[in-house]
Amino acid sequence: MARLNLRVLLLGLVVLNAAASLSFAASFEADFHDETLRIDYFHTGDATEEIVSLDQMWRQGIWAGSRTRLVDDLDLGRYYAKAFDADSGELMWSRGFDSYYGEWKTTSKAADGVRRTYHESALMPLPKRPVVFTLSVREKDNSLAEIYRLAIDPADWRIRRDALADDVIVVKSAVHGDSHPRVDIAIVGEGYTAAEADKFRADVDRFAATMLNHDPYKSMADRFNVWGVLKPSQESGCDEPSRGVHRNTSLGCTFDSLDSERYMLTEDNRAIRDVAAHVPYDVLYIMVNHERYGGGGIYNLFCTFTSDNQWSEYVFLHEFGHSFAGLADEYYSSSTAYNDFYPAGREPNERNITALSDPNQVKWADLLTAGTNVPTDWVKAEYDRMDQEYQVERGRTNERIASLMTSGASEAEIEAAKVAGEELSKSHQEVVDAWFARNPTREMVGVFEGAGYASEGLYRSQLDCIMFTKGMKPFCAACDRGIREVVERYGE
Ligand SMILES: [Zn+2]
């Protein structure tokens, strides 16, 4: 019944929104302070039920985002945060996002009714008048259903204004100017001890350069500010629980997230936000001082990567594609923890994959190479065979490393197994890259089956892309356009 009432309320707001978006001309200065309001809340539930409850609110730093594009019309992400003027009902600000909870609820455990709680934050400009803050979740039919509603009076004495911690190091790496018209990236260090602060500074500069030298970021480099922020950790590295490694680090990053060995995330959202608050930021990169292959990226939440693996630069750009531009994974054969990540029969909102429900209405029709067949034949069976052999071998290698590490094997034996694992990954990718180079479709923009964790029924725009296989390769045409579209949303 409560849910039904929410739906009725939401319907009313949808009507108000439509009117408001037409008349939306209020200037930033009339409605907002140039300051960030951080709303922290807990997100609890399983696959079928979700509950949101308030933690605390904070005033922290200037508003880093756009002052003219306050309403997010990209329609990306499984959740939307919105703020409405409490008196007029006018939509003043919104932002689409994904969350750790959103991934949790697609797992088998959540389907079995296991509940978990994740801490989340919404960052919006501090309003000058009372607002109604809401959270909505995307339903299977792609509509948004409200799950949480909170009245916020910006004059409320409960909104905290604590001074920031004084043990945080800030690095101005590639700062091109005023934060409002730029994308401000905070690279937050994890698993660097105080003695490794210089390594952190060098790593921030190295990855800032990696990003700003890769298109399409390269062609828009002055639209980005890159900051480094570090709260030194007690120990180096991060947790690798299935290998028996547990480290005391400032952000709590861990491999084995959602039981996937290479998936590295943190559940300690409050710790990340408290450190990142030292700089103006729109997006977060978490850089983990480690040499193992791994990372993760969740749209408008954060991405993670390790600093010293042979694939670190690739992982950094790939995961940022998820967390910044909401791009989908274009690979489909690696094991993942999700069930039905993209519901059948629905066109994914991500710009780089399509369900191709109508071959005459291709999502990137204007980018297609003339004369390309839709869908485009790319000798998929041959690729699948190569990949399957590799996945089996990779699984064996990872199991061997974990069993050596948890059974007290010698350092030399463990190191040799890790080196063998890295060599396997490198040699496999060399074989795949050579195969791509011989493939007659390699330069084409077409519609290639296999994407978004689905071998059939989802398609990508080019044979290869940095969102598909490993290596410092270009973004495909659909990804390139998706990234440019998002950068535009950060204007002025
Ligand atoms: Zn792509």
pLDDT per residue as tens digits for the range 137-177: 999 889 999 999 999 999 999 999 999 999 999 999 999 99
Q: Determine which helix (DSSP H) or strand (DSSP E) holds 227, and give its type and residue range.
A: strand 224-230
- Residue 340 has a pLDDT of 65
Ligand 1 centre distance from Cα of residue 197 (Å): 35
Calculate the average pLDDT of the chain: 92
Strand partners, 43: 52, 118
Q: What is the DSSP letter of 241?
A: G
Give CA angle at 134 (328, 11), nearest 5°: 95
Ligand 1 centre distance from Cα of residue 322 (Å): 11
- Residue 17 has a pLDDT of 46
Ligand 1 centre distance from Cα of residue 475 (Å): 5
Of 274, 272, 318, 328, the C-alpha closest to 295 is 318
Half-sphere exposure of 182 (CA within 13 A, CB side): 20
Ligand 1 centre distance from Cα of residue 238 (Å): 30
CATH superfamily of 2-152: Peptidase M64, N-terminal domain (2.60.40.3250)
Pick from 8-12, 115-119, 145-149, 301-305: least confident: 8-12
Ligand 1 centre distance from Cα of residue 465 (Å): 5
Ligand 1 centre distance from Cα of residue 451 (Å): 10
Phi-psi region of 277 (alpha: psi -120 to 50; beta: other; left: phi over 0): alpha
d(CA 93, CA 489): 13
Ligand 1 centre distance from Cα of residue 125 (Å): 32
Stated pTM of the model: 0.89
- Residue 334 has a pLDDT of 59
d(CA 419, CA 307): 17
Ligand 1 centre distance from Cα of residue 314 (Å): 13
d(CA 222, CA 454): 37
Strand partners, 230: 169, 189
d(CA 327, CA 321): 6
Give the tens place of pLDDT for each residue, 51-102. 999 999 999 999 999 999 999 999 999 999 999 999 999 999 999 999 999 9
What lies within 8 Å, CB to CB, of 196 at 6+ separation is 232, 236, 289
Ligand 1 centre distance from Cα of residue 81 (Å): 27
Ligand 1 centre distance from Cα of residue 45 (Å): 33
Ligand 1 centre distance from Cα of residue 480 (Å): 7
d(CA 402, CA 293): 14
Report residue 488 as tokens.
Answer: 């535009």
Ligand 1 centre distance from Cα of residue 352 (Å): 6
Ligand 1 centre distance from Cα of residue 440 (Å): 18
d(CA 187, CA 276): 8
Q: Are strands 144-152 and 50-59 parallel, antiparallel or unpaired?
A: unpaired
Ligand 1 centre distance from Cα of residue 30 (Å): 40
Half-sphere exposure of 453 (CA within 13 A, CB side): 12
Confidence bin at 36 (pLDDT 50/70/90)? very high
CATH superfamily of 169-325: Collagenase (Catalytic Domain) (3.40.390.10)
Ligand 1 centre distance from Cα of residue 489 (Å): 20
Contact 240, 292 (CB under 8 A): yes
Ligand 1 centre distance from Cα of residue 481 (Å): 10
Ligand 1 centre distance from Cα of residue 321 (Å): 9
Ligand 1 centre distance from Cα of residue 229 (Å): 30
- Residue 335 has a pLDDT of 55
The residue extents of the domains of the chain are 2-152, 169-325, 365-471
Ligand 1 centre distance from Cα of residue 140 (Å): 24
Ligand 1 centre distance from Cα of residue 472 (Å): 13
How many Å is the maximal CA-CA distance in the chain?
69
Q: What is the DSSP letter of 103?
A: H
Contact 97, 299 (CB under 8 A): yes
Ligand 1 centre distance from Cα of residue 315 (Å): 14
Give the tens place of pLDDT for each residue, 381-425. 999 999 999 999 999 999 999 999 999 999 999 999 999 999 999
Q: C-alpha dihedral over 208, 212, 213, 217, to 10 degrees? A: 150
Ligand 1 centre distance from Cα of residue 367 (Å): 13
* CB atoms closer than 10 angstroms to residue 116: 16
Report residue 178 as tokens.
Answer: 């005023």
Alpha carbon distances (Å) from 201 to 27, 60, 173, 204, 287: 38, 24, 8, 5, 11
Radius of gyration of the chain (CA): 23
d(CA 361, CA 358): 5
Q: Do domains 2-152 and 169-325 have the same CATH topology?
A: no
